Amino acid sequence: MSSTPHDPATGARIIAQTLKKLGVLVVFGLVGVPVSDIAEQVIAIGIRFIGFRNEQAASYAATAYGYLTGTPGVCLVVGGPGVLHAIAGVGNASENNFPLLLLGGSIETHQVTKGAFQELDSVSLLTARTKHSVRPPNVESLPYIIANAYRCSFYGRPGAAFVDLPADIINDPLSPEELKDTKEVLTIPDAPRSGADNRGLNKVIALIKQAKAPLVLVGKGAAYARAEHSIRAFIEQTSIPFLPSPMGKGVVADSHPANASAARSTALKLADVVIILGARLNWIFHYGETPKWSSSAKFVQVDISPEEMGRNAGDAEYSLLGDVSVVVEQLLQLLGNWAYDQTRSDYVQNLELAKRKNGRVSSLAANDTSMPLTYHRVFDIIKRGLHLLSPPLEGGVCLIAEGANTMDISRSIFSFEHPRLRLDAGTYATMGVGLPYAIAAWEAYNAPNAKASSGPAKRKKIVAIEGDSAFGFSGMEVETMARMGMDILIFVVNNGGIYFGDSNTADDWTAKQEKTKRNEPGLRSWALGWEVRYQKLAEACGGLGFFVRTAEELEKATIAGFKATVPVIVNIIIQSGKMEKASFGWQVAPRRKTKAASL
Ligand code: ADP
pLDDT(598) > 50 = no
* Average confidence score pLDDT of the chain: 93
> CA 322, CA 196: separation in Å to the nearest integer?
5
Instruction: Answer whether 427 contacts ligand 1 (Cβ < 6 A).
Output: yes
> CA 177, CA 181: separation in Å to the nearest integer?
6
pLDDT in tens, 273-304: 999 999 999 999 999 999 999 999 999 999 99
Q: What is the pLDDT of residue 1?
A: 39
User: What amino acid is encoded at 391 in this protein?
Assistant: P
pLDDT in tens, 244-255: 999 999 999 999
Q: How far is the CA of 446 from the centre of ligand 1 (A)?
A: 26
Cβ pair 543, 338 in contact under 8 A:
no
Q: What is the pLDDT of residue 401?
A: 97
**Would you place residue 7 in the very low, low, confident or very high pLDDT band (cuts 50, 70, 90)?**
low
Report the predicted TM-score, pTM, of the whole model to 2 decimal places.
0.95
Instruction: Answer whether 65 contacts ligand 1 (Cβ < 6 A).
Output: no
Q: Order of strands across the sheet with 273-277? A: 242-244, 214-218, 273-277, 298-303, 320-321
Q: How far is the CA of 164 from the centre of ligand 1 (A)?
A: 28
**Can you give the three-state secondary structure of 6-59, one letter per residue?**
CCCCEHHHHHHHHHHHCCCCEEEECCCCCCHHHHHHHHHCCCEEEECCCHHHHH
Q: What is the pLDDT of residue 344?
A: 84
pLDDT in tens, 328-362: 999 999 999 999 999 888 999 999 999 999 988 88
> CA 123, CA 179: separation in Å to the nearest integer?
26
Q: What are phi and psi of 346, to 5 degrees?
A: -95, 20
Element (H, E) at 555: helix 551-563
Nearest atom (ligand 1) to Cα of 219: 3
CA terminus-to-terminus distance, the chain: 65
Residues whose CB is less than 8 angstroms from the CB of residue 134 and which lie 6 or more positions away in sequence, other chains included? 123, 145, 148, 149, 162, 163, 164
Q: What is the pLDDT of residue 85?
A: 98
Q: Whose CA is nearest to atom 6 of ligand 1?
A: 96
Tell me, rounded to whole angstroms, the distance of Cα 570 from its chain centroid: 22
pLDDT in tens, 119-168: 999 999 999 999 999 999 999 999 999 999 999 999 999 999 999 999 99
Q: What is the pLDDT of residue 588?
A: 55
pLDDT in tens, 86-132: 999 999 999 999 999 999 999 999 998 999 889 999 999 999 999 99
pLDDT(460) > 70 = yes
Q: What are phi and psi of 68, to 5 degrees?
A: -75, -30
Q: How far is the CA of 225 from the centre of ligand 1 (A)?
A: 8
Nearest atom (ligand 1) to Cα of 282: 7
> CA 500, CA 480: separation in Å to the nearest integer?
29
pLDDT in tens, 163-208: 999 999 999 988 888 888 887 777 899 999 999 999 999 999 999 9
> CA 209, CA 212: separation in Å to the nearest integer?
9
Q: What is the pLDDT of residue 587?
A: 56
Q: Whose CA is nearest to atom 5 of ligand 1?
A: 279
pLDDT in tens, 487-544: 999 999 999 999 888 898 999 999 999 999 999 999 999 999 999 999 999 999 999 9
